[in-house]
Amino acid sequence: MSEEEINKGRNFLKTSSLMKGGRLQFESDQLKKLPAPPLQKPYPETMTLIDLIKPEDFNIGEMAFIDVINKRRSRRKFTKDLLTLEELSFLLWASQGVQYIIGGGNATWRTVPSGGARHPFETYLCLYQVEGLQAGLYRYLSIEHKLYLIREDLEKPFSINKTLVAPAPIVFIWTVIPYRTEWRYGAFSYKTIAQETGHVCQNLYLASETIGAGTCAVGAYNQELMDEYLSVDGKDEFVVYTARVGKVKQSEKSLLRMAESLHGYRSRK
Ligand SMILES: Cc1cc2nc3c(=O)[nH]c(=O)nc-3n(C[C@H](O)[C@H](O)[C@H](O)COP(=O)(O)O)c2cc1C
């Protein structure tokens, strides 16, 4: 790496260039009184919306919190078991569910935190093994807590050599619409957005464990192929993070063996 690359990368992680004396050093579009962007990307009105199970009707997710934290692991091997619609609803709600629309309709409170409550992400799903739903690429409408099917072709972009995202019972794909955060935070947005992807995926990890499922975050996806697959422009909306999810039945020993072979680590346990 060049000195320039190192400094650029490290500076991205700092707040110092944009914050002086506890104040952000820029004039945002919000301060300029420009209209706030929509809370959610619009969707075609012709789409048939699929109802999900509402959070107040969940009968799952009741594992003791200490056990959930202790069980969390990246899981890459899934059983053939289908996930139920309730389980899928729970995972979507846990990772991006909207609880309130606040700020006169300009922001949302969700199950995860977001700088300035901007919540710049959209959730897409490749569903292979969910009870009652045909396999396909779907989008989650977090405000409505509903799904719609975008299309049925799944296999092509998930060839492991091309994207490093192998098929799984469910593949979560999060895109970012950067202006939703830029409107408020200008150039300060990018570190915030990167931090927030972790919050979203961590909730997915924890929620998965409570239903006998498991998650593996996948940062090593093919940017261009994934953007193309979702038909997003790669500028005003692009993929930022993905995760594989499925039912799991794997001993700690075999998880350790897998981690060793993946990373070249030797464990002592
Ligand atoms: C930002 C991020 C990106 C990751 N990307 C990948 C990935 O592309 N492929 C993969 O198999 N695991 C990926 N992982 C999972 C890590 O390999 C995993 O967290 C690590 O090996 C520790 O194991 P644990 O999560 O079970 O504690 C990623 C994790 C994070 C936080």
Compute the distance between CA of residue 124 and CA of residue 241 in angstroms, rounded to an integer: 11
186-203 residue pLDDT tens: 988 999 999 999 999 999
Residue-level pLDDT at 168 = 87
Ligand 1 neighbourhood includes 24 CB (under 6 angstroms)? no
Of 68, 61, 229, 50, give the one whose Cα is nearest residue 147: 50
pTM: 0.92
Ligand 1 neighbourhood includes 250 CB (under 6 angstroms)? no
CB 213, CB 181: distance < 8 Å:
no
**Whole-Å CA distances, 19 to 22, 29, 115, 186:** 6, 17, 15, 12
Compute the distance between CA of residue 253 and CA of residue 269 in angstroms, rounded to an integer: 8
User: Is residue 165 scored above 80 in pLDDT?
Assistant: no
CA of 243 to the centre of ligand 1 (A): 10
Q: Phi and psi at residue 203, in whole multiples of 5°?
A: -60, -35
CATH numbers and ranges of domains, the chain:
3-263 (3.40.109.10)
State the Cα torsion 264-209-197-1 to the nearest 10°. Answer: 0
Compute the distance between CA of residue 13 and CA of residue 16 in angstroms, rounded to an integer: 9
Residue-level pLDDT at 147 = 98
CA of 219 to the centre of ligand 1 (A): 8
Locate the ligand 1 atom nearest the alpha carbon of residue 221 and give its number: 8
126-142 residue pLDDT tens: 999 899 999 999 999 99
236-260 residue pLDDT tens: 999 999 999 999 986 666 666 666 7
Confidence of residue 159 (pLDDT cuts 50, 70, 90): low
CB 190, CB 253: distance < 8 Å:
no
Residue-level pLDDT at 21 = 74
CA of 73 to the centre of ligand 1 (A): 9
CB 148, CB 48: distance < 8 Å:
yes
Locate the ligand 1 atom nearest the alpha carbon of residue 197 and give its number: 1
Locate the ligand 1 atom nearest the alpha carbon of residue 205 and give its number: 25
